[in-house]
């Protein structure tokens, strides 16, 4: 079921409890530790770096899927494997963040390095045989990549007006049903007043021309996809830190008209205004999320499932990779979940689908993105292990 705080009393009580804490001297703007309380439990929380090397295949964890499915290793040894894109012939392209490289995995083959020495190439998109790569400040294209996997062509820069601040500077990139490029430009902070050009998703031509924002009030998205029937853009959004262990929750949102404002930094979850930036604002001014995905669970990549393998129960539903929290004492929510739709713009419920990434309150894996293979199998990237998992029907 859709989860969320429904009691105003619970929200107000938590906020009152939170503001009792004095905060430590603020780190530099945009640091994940900005605003961390001085209390002992909070001081023990900080972002967790993945292991320095990919996990050997023999040491990868055992994961769990529902009855009737099986999960196996599709690829391993891909440092910081994150964004996935799949070509019609089954070639899998892999973007990275800290790995600074882009890979390709031909059908039945081993991963090959296409590009390295890049600057946070998290965002990749594949369209008509061309590969688009969004680095920290720019977007480039590799023309006819499908015909040049053995000798990747030189990248041609098409857009260079992405934000310079590093916080939340890993981009997500996609090509919409309108044959336009969409790229995230997230807020460069935990919580801050809006800065021009940030907290938005931009749309532009395939040559980088005519870039314009299509929404506002987005904090940090690292995943979006388009409804297969309506063409509406849906996106995950990671909410602010250090307000509470339990609020706000991370979100799933849908764009039903251009120019919508999703509330950051003024309103959270459509339920309560921010204790610092919400003064004089009301949540009624902004667009509510369609689903709440748990506190600090870090939902990243998402995809409407259009394969045939999983059956009608999953056709058209949304698979969401939750990376898992770093700023909760108890790690919960590192999983791939299914969001079951209720009509074209609502979610009926969300349920876990792929689990097992947390053992004894420690990560043994962290899912990042999902993608569907031509045969309908689902791929899941895992940047903690440098691996890609394949989920299929257990025949």
pLDDT band of 28, cuts 50, 70, 90: confident
Percentage of residues in the chain having pLDDT higher than 90: 90
For residue 323, pLDDT over 70 is answered with yes
Cα distances (angstroms) measured from residue 97 to each of 19, 101, 117, 169: 34, 8, 11, 10
Q: Confidence band (pLDDT; 50, 70, 90) for 31?
A: confident
* Window from 162-166, 169-173, 183-187, 206-210 with minimum mean pLDDT: 162-166
- For residue 256, is pLDDT > 90? yes
CATH architecture, range 8-23+30-47+87-333: 6 Propeller (2.120)
Which one has a higher pLDDT value, 126 or 21? 126
Dihedral of CA atoms 20, 22, 28, 32 in degrees, nearest 10, equals -50
Across the range 88-97, mean pLDDT stands at 98
Lowest mean pLDDT among 14-18, 29-33, 305-309, 318-322: 14-18
pLDDT tens-digit series, residues 103-120? 999 999 999 999 999 999
For 329-339, the pLDDT digits (tens) are 999 999 999 99
pLDDT tens per residue, range 205-254: 999 999 999 999 999 999 999 999 999 999 999 999 999 999 999 999 99
Burial of 77 (0-12, 13-18, 19+ CB in 10 A): middle
Q: What is the pLDDT of residues 336-380, one digit of tens each?
A: 999 999 999 999 999 999 999 999 999 999 999 999 999 999 999
- Could you tell me if 254 and 201 are in contact, meaning their C-beta atoms sit under 8 angstroms apart? no
Give the per-residue pLDDT at 267. 98
What was the pLDDT predicted at 26?
A: 55
Model pTM greater than 0.85? yes
Stated as kind and residue range, the H or E segment containing 159 is strand 156-159
Average pLDDT, the chain: 93
> Where does the chain have alpha helices with state H?
8-18, 40-43
The domain ranges of the chain are: 8-23+30-47+87-333
pLDDT tops 90 at residue 27: no
Question: Does the structure show a pLDDT above 50 at 14?
Answer: no
The strand pair at 233-237 and 267-268 is best described as: unpaired
The predicted pLDDT at position 12 comes to 38
Contacts of 128 (CB under 8 A, 6+ apart): none
Q: Which residues contact 160 (CB under 8 A, 6 or more apart)?
A: 137, 138, 139
Contact by Cβ (8 Å): 326, 48: yes
């Amino acid at each position: 079921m859709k989860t969320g705080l429904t009691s105003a009393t619970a929200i107000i009580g938590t906020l009152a409890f939170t503001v009792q804490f004095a905060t430590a001297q603020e780190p530099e703007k945009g640091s994940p530790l900005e605003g961390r309380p001085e209390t002992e439990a909070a001081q023990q929380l900080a972002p967790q770096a993945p292991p320095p090397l990919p996990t050997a295949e023999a040491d990868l964890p055992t994961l769990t899927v529902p009855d009737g499915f099986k999960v196996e290793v599709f690829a391993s040894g891909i440092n910081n494997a994150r964004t996935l894109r799949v070509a019609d012939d089954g070639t899998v392209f892999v973007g990275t963040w800290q790995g600074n490289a882009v890979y390709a995995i031909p059908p039945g083959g081993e991963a090959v390095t296409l590009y390295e020495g890049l600057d946070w190439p998290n965002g990749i998109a594949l369209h008509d045989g061309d590969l688009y790569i969004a680095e920290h400040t720019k977007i480039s294209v590799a023309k006819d990549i499908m015909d040049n996997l053995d000798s990747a062509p030189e990248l041609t820069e098409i857009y260079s007006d992405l934000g310079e601040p590093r916080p939340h500077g890993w981009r997500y990139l996609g090509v919409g049903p309108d044959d336009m490029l969409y790229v995230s430009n997230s807020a460069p902070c935990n919580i801050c007043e809006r800065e021009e050009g940030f907290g938005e998703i931009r749309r532009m031509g395939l040559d980088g021309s005519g870039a314009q924002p299509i929404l506002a009030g987005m904090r940090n998205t690292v995943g979006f996809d388009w409804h297969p029937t309506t063409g509406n853009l849906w996106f995950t959004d990671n909410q602010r830190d250090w307000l509470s262990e339990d609020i706000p929750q991370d979100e799933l949102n849908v764009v039903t008209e251009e120019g919508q404002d999703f509330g950051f930094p003024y309103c959270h979850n459509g339920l309560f205004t921010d204790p610092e930036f919400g003064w004089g604002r009301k949540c009624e001014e902004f667009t509510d999320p369609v689903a709440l995905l748990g506190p600090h669970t870090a939902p990243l990549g998402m995809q409407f499932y259009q394969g045939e393998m999983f059956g009608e129960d999953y056709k058209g539903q949304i698979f969401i990779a939750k990376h898992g929290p770093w700023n909760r004492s108890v790690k919960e929510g590192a999983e791939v979940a299914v969001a079951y739709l209720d009509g074209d713009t609502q979610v009926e419920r969300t349920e876990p689908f792929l689990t097992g990434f947390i053992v004894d309150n420690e990560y043994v894996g962290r899912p990042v993105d999902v993608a569907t293979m031509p045969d309908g199998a689902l791929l899941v990237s895992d940047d903690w292990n440098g691996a890609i998992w394949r989920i299929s029907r257990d025949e």
